[in-house]
Structure 1
Amino acid sequence: MKANKVFQQRIKQWIEELKRGELTEASLHTGLAEFNHIEPQRQDLLYLQTSGTSLTSGVHGILLVENGQISEIPSNPDDWPYQSVLEAIRGGWHVIQFPNMALLMDESRTYGLGCEFILEKSTNAL
């Protein structure tokens, strides 16, 4: 269970115990002990440069950061783990930044690397 859900459930329980006059020091210590067993989360990042703003646009640049390290990506685009942003989403990634439309001077032409999507995936750090 994710840490945020555990915290929310435990705090709601404490509020109810407090309302009933049943909140004890032992209950608080038990909850604190549970929080110590929650596995820390790690954020992995995936940068995808695409030819357009659509989630189905082809990927022409990729950078993957896992475990705080830049991962090596095959040089052949056919061997990349994702060929579109939509494939990455289906693989469990969450988009945290869409392309900045202000940087596209003409929607029919892209400049530089084109459109960059940034995605994240949270995994257990241990």
Structure 2
Amino acid sequence: MEITGKIKVINETQTLGDKGFKKREVVITTEENYPQSILIEFTRDKCELLETYSVGQEVKININIRGREWINPKGEAIYFNTIQGWRIEPLIGQAPAFSSLPKPEEVDLMDDDDGDLPF
């Protein structure tokens, strides 16, 4: 899955627990009729992917949705969801799709139907 939008917040990398687990969060604001601010978490070595990005930049982030169950002290099950990013890339003037143009291998450069040269 992927999410596109503008970076609203980039948090610093956090180191958690005795084993040094690292995570870094980014908030993306989607650009739709009802914009959403989505928190995405990058973990471990993926934290470094955010180093070259800044607030206000438009990006596409590939994500996975993670869920887990926690049993509280009362014995009740509580569920948590996390949106985890694993790739990020800038949205810089995406090239238009020209799907109607033939592929290079489909063009016969030696085909001369009408016998006229263009010069």
TM range, normalised to the smaller chain?
A: under 0.3
Between Structure 1 and Structure 2, the one with more strand by share is 2
Structure number with the bigger relative contact order (C-alpha 8 A, sep ≥ 6) is 1
TM-score (norm 1): 0.23
Between Structure 1 and Structure 2, the one with more helix by share is 1
Structure whose CA Rg is larger:
2
TM-score (norm 2): 0.23
